Copies of this chain bind each other. A is one copy, B any other.
């Protein structure tokens, strides 16, 4: 599986760094409050760091923390030479400005790639930290050798975190880019008329089972970014994770499809760790 290959590679790179007497990559994660999904994501990031030999620091803050105190925590991490990557788990409580928090992170440690400087460099084709989900999808395309140049990709969703950077990456002059890209969203009329023309569909709208068989052409590549929790009495935890694609009906049509859970979600963590190693190497 793609993510195992990436983790294996990162692990080896850490081992080489240790042999060479270089610093071990270290990721700092801040979580504010205790949202269930956020806890899971943060837990996975800390666990994966350990698996591949990265150091990690988890900072837990109360949900009613003052914004200025959160910003201060970030400044401490910015100036802490031990820390290579800083990640503030989103969403944040409503009384805190997410843009202000993100802009406080040193862009050179912004392994989530959400700082405007990194977003801008991505648009301009300059070297930057690419947000983990779209970067994970690019690594997946690369791992499975999925040809993209000259293909028509339809991206559903225009979020800053997934849809927008995905549409930029796929349409840029780069490896696993060079697609003609159509970006669709809630204001799109007759969305199926676009997806039916697509060689590649990226579904990132957060509506479980949205993409159905009659919206996809035969031979398409379908990438499912959805990870919605839906109530499920048959599960001990009370919910299942569902993607934006109606997998059962769509999969038989596809040349290639990413499953949920286990597809893009896993790659996202691989991408974050790759960014953290990169941040560390840039500071060598």
Q: How far is the CB of A206 from chain B (nearest CB, A)?
A: 16
Q: Given A150-B189, A182-B181, A189-B150, are A164 and B194 neighbors across the interface (CB < 8 Å)?
A: no
B99 touching A126 by the CB < 8 A rule?
A: yes
Chain B residues contacting A171 (CB-CB under 8 Å) are 158, 183, 185
**A180→B188 contact, CB < 8 A:** yes
**Residue A125 lies at the interface, judged by CB distance under 8 Å to chain B:** yes
- Distance (whole angstroms) from the CB of A165 to the closest CB of chain B: 8
Q: Is A207's CB within 8 Å of the partner chain B?
A: no
Asked whether A149 is an interface residue with its Cβ less than 8 Å from the other chain, the reply is: yes
Give how many copies assemble into the complex: 2
Looking at chain A's contact residues, the main secondary structure is: mixed
Task: Please indicate the chain B residues that have their CB under 8 angstroms from the CB of A117 in the complex.
Answer: 116-117, 120
Binary contact readout A188-213 vs B (1 if CB under 8 angstroms, 0 otherwise) = 11000010000000000000000000
- For residue A123, CB closer than 8 A to chain B, the reply is yes
- CB within 8 Å of B: which A122-180 residues: 122-126, 149-150, 152, 158, 160, 164-165, 167-168, 171-173, 178-180
Distance in Å: Cβ of A196 to nearest Cβ of chain B: 12
Nearest B residue to A154, CB-CB: B182
* A184 proximal to B (CB < 8 A): yes
Q: Across the two chains, which residue of chain B brings its CB closest to A164?
A: B123
Can you spell out 28 A-B residue pairs with CB atoms less than 8 angstroms apart?
A99-B124, A116-B116, A116-B126, A117-B117, A117-B120, A119-B121, A120-B120, A120-B122, A123-B123, A123-B164, A123-B168, A124-B160, A125-B160, A149-B187, A150-B188, A150-B189, A152-B189, A158-B173, A167-B183, A171-B185, A173-B187, A180-B184, A180-B185, A180-B187, A180-B194, A181-B183, A182-B182, A182-B183
